[in-house]
A = this chain, B = another copy of it.
Amino acid sequence: VSPRELPRTQVRRLPEKQVEDRAALDALLDQALVGHLAVVTDGWPYVVPVGMARDGDRVLCHGSTGARLFRGLAAGEPTCLTVTIVDGLVLARSQFESSMNYRSAMILGRCTELEFRAKAAALAVLTEHLMPGRGADSRGPSKKELAQTSVLELPIEEWSLKVSAHADPDDQDEDLDLPYWAGVLPLHHVWGEPRPSSDLRGGPPVPDYVATWPTGRT
């Protein structure tokens, strides 16, 4: 990586959208179910979706030991994890000022593959992140299952966060009298009705913790 005048996580385009607040980064990572993780193979970038969870100053990414692209990541190849949630459309009178409300984080670094106890502990964190309360209401991994599962850890050190959160479109003054509707159309990510498995035996009811799972996941 060549030296740069600016840190490579400096947002140069629309810098007013850059947010330096670590709490805002954590809130995004904690809401997201998946991120997009990149790896370079033979000079070509590949981007794969991964189930993920923040745990303090690291992000845990779930994969399989059999996945080709995961092997490069496990070997510590340079990577970028990008996590994006779209919060709505911003409909300005001009198409040029129309945009989206979104939050997007980029974390640069190299992954470490976790082993044995660290991996088991990380899987417990992933389980609780994806579905809080589920850890105690499911069977944990056997040794064989653990061996078939790969968990990558990416440190939260070099990161950037862009947030676009328009309450109103930002039309130019000369466009305000145009006869077009303008406003914001929010996008919500919400759980639907739980669908019990058709082979459920003994008929345990939908657990209470389902009702308290955070909404707004994506």
Given A95-B138, A180-B139, A182-B197, residue A82 in contact with residue B47 (CB < 8 A)? yes
Cα-based distance from A102 to B200 in the complex (angstroms): 23
B residues within 8 A CB of A205?
A: 181
User: How many of these chains are in the complex?
Assistant: 2
Of the candidates B88, B98, B192, B199, the one whose C-beta lies within 8 Å of that of A186 is B192
Among B42, B104, B207, contact of A1 (Cβ-Cβ < 8 Å): B42
Say yes or no: B36 contacts A36, CB within 8 Å. yes
Chain A contacts with B in 68-82, Cβ cutoff 8 A:
68, 78-82
Known: A1-B43, A8-B44. 17 other contacts (CB 8 A): A13-B64, A33-B187, A36-B36, A38-B46, A38-B80, A45-B78, A51-B100, A91-B134, A95-B123, A96-B141, A96-B145, A98-B138, A176-B199, A179-B202, A181-B204, A181-B206, A184-B195
Chain A interface (Cβ within 8 Å of chain B)?
1-2, 8, 12-14, 33-34, 36-40, 42-49, 51, 64, 66-68, 78-82, 84, 86, 88-89, 91-96, 98, 100, 102, 104, 106, 108, 123, 127, 130-131, 134-135, 137-142, 145, 148-149, 167-169, 171, 175-202, 204-207, 210, 213, 217-218
